[in-house]
Structure 1
């Protein structure tokens, strides 16, 4: 029998059929995850989908109704075992920073070490190193109230890593910051996680944060995982119309079979598709090409233009039909609202889903 020369890697964090129920309400409905050492997992989804609850179950801040939590191959929670947070060896960064205002920056960072009764000299050295890693070495004696929001978040991160955990949990750590500062902090946070070789679970409702930071992204819906995949696979191959709509990958249209083609909202589409009477169609920006009006599969009027990085994102209201429909495309040429354009559909870039594949609730 063939045997691999590569040992099977023990996941840093794993859950098995993890469930949480309050009365008759199911908060989590069977979560299975396995996160390898050194990887970052983003839990992404709308408010109320269960992502923060899942993080708290991993941290030991909540006990599951059923299922198991494993850290480094050891059972942390099951029907017969429950280890509290201080015995799980994790660092955690909260949304509200959770800094003590009566303590200095250094004292805040040192607190986890004091709880572990680390000697003073060792505490001082570790705190200094942690603050240097987050770029706050010169602010050790300041009060947290004297710092900006971004600096306070760095203090919280320093406190999470000062005890040198190899797994750190992040609960929407950047949500209180403005957009520009969030983009800076995401880059810094990613570099820090990689530089320290951390394993991380990162809760967010911001897809740009998730796709930038994570090796794997779990899109959650109503206490379940709708899709778990690397960021590029998530974008290129969404598992459902629900996921595609939540990630805003394009326009999802309900289609009905019409002769040899398809129809939607009174419009006809000369497309091949699944062998069914109805389906849902994802039209991404990459599936549309601007052509002359006479050669177009679809025609419409430009309703909005935004410049993004190296191209323009263009919204087009389609002509005809009994219901309004808008699609989006990318263009190197600046268009103006009111411009009339023709669109060619690139069939091999379309993605079809079963009918009735409804949407995640967006925040």
Structure 2
């Protein structure tokens, strides 16, 4: 379980009164078990919010509360400034004007592609030429107009997902909710679908809430990302701010931004295990602190410098080519066997000993948690 101190959970860029979706002090409990604990957020119209976190953190539960598939224990949900769930009030899903895309697509096998897409229109009483026009327009937007008469079972996984998206937008909702819609697809297809989905959301001017456990999806697709853990929002921020300014070591570790080391202060600077790091600019005035070291905050010392002359030393244990550079893992010397990652334009040798240099302007410091007093 992630432990953290929740930051300001209401998004400062969104005005609650003008928000497309907002929640206030939202909770959900089953008996003594708290699933969500005081969720406050406000999403501006036309933005995409990603709810990101591990399984069991509450992200899908929050989505279902917004959708009206669950009723909160306390607090409020508002859509377009109007409360749809709160004390003495609960609007069912069909009254909230939302579209929803599920993880398992939820397509009717006995209906054609067009029949599946038209289903929300049938429920709304739209018939005849208007029904057909809106159905085909939705299918055209996802590139499946030519497959209108086919059975969903005749389509690929990616095509079935497009049908589910067409069904979600056919009634022209202003808000669409996505519950891990790409998790059943392979990695390559997911990357393609994320790009297509982002273009579709922007092209239609939709407001979207997107549940995922995949950091890449969230950071690629969303305008704002809420990192969730243990039924709370650990941090709510724009993707670039999350990457550059995670507000806790646990958020940084979940996003896999780098390694977090517990450093202790001594007379001449800072120490990690047997490594004397000396003074480090920007360090807090404390006896101990946690330090996030990202791949961009680390480099191998100059070739003419002996590795042992560096303050951090270790052995290269893994090399992977990623995009345009090598991701290099270095296991630091010492009993902790801590590993750091750095990016290199040249391929080093596996097993090579290296010295490492910290780039102080790229380090991220966190105060060390206060240890409880012992009796």
Same fold (TM over 0.5): yes
CA deviation map 1:256-301 (0-9, x unaligned): 2222322223322213321112211111111112213435331221
Residues 81 and 22 of structure 1, relative CA distance in 2, 3 Å threshold: same
Give the aligned partner of residue 313 of structure 2: 299
Paired position in structure 1 for 2:262:
254
Q: Quote the Cα distance in structure 2 between the aligned partners of 1:324 and 1:259.
A: 25
* Residue aligned with 2:90, SS: coil
Let me know the Cα RMSD of the aligned residues.
1.5
SS at structure 1 position matched to 2:18: coil
Instruction: State the secondary structure of the residue aligned to 1:169.
Output: strand
Residue 337 of structure 1 is matched in structure 2 by 350
User: How is 1:171-190 mapped onto 2 (pairs within 5 angstroms)?
Assistant: 171-190=179-198
Structure 2: segments with no counterpart, 5+ residues: 1-14
How far does the alpha carbon of each residue in 1:287-342 deviate from its partner, in whole angstroms, 9 at most, with x for none? 112213435331221111111111111111112x2311110111111123112222
In the superposition, relative to structure 1, how do residues 191 and 70 fare at CA in structure 2: closer, same or farther (>3 Å)?
A: same
Distance 1:349 1:172, change over 3 A: same
Tell me, in whole angstroms, the C-alpha distance in 1 between the residues paired with 2:292 and 2:274.
18
Q: 2:56 aligns with which of 48, 52, 65?
A: 48
> Compared with structure 1, are the counterparts of its residues 157 and 225 closer, same or farther at alpha carbon in structure 2 (3 Å cutoff)?
same
Would you identify which runs of 4 or more consecutive aligned residues in structure 1 move more than 4 Å? Answer: none
2:11 is matched with: none
* 1:317 correspondence with 2:331: yes
CA distance in 2 between counterparts of 1:357 and 1:152 reads 51
Q: Name the CA distance, whole Å, in 1 between partners of 2:276 and 2:213.
A: 36
Give me the whole-angstrom Cα distance separating, in 2, the residues matched to 1:357 and 1:206: 31
Q: Spell out, residue by residue over 1:207-248, the C-alpha distance to the aligned partner (whole angstroms, 9 max, x if none).
A: 000000000000001000000000000000001001000001
What CA distance in whole angstroms lies between the structure 2 residues aligned with 1:310 and 1:46? 29
TM-score (normalizing by structure 2): 0.91
SS of residue in 1 equivalent to 2:89: coil
Q: Which residue of 1 aligns with 2:99?
A: 91
SS at match of 1:226: strand
Count residues in correspondence.
351
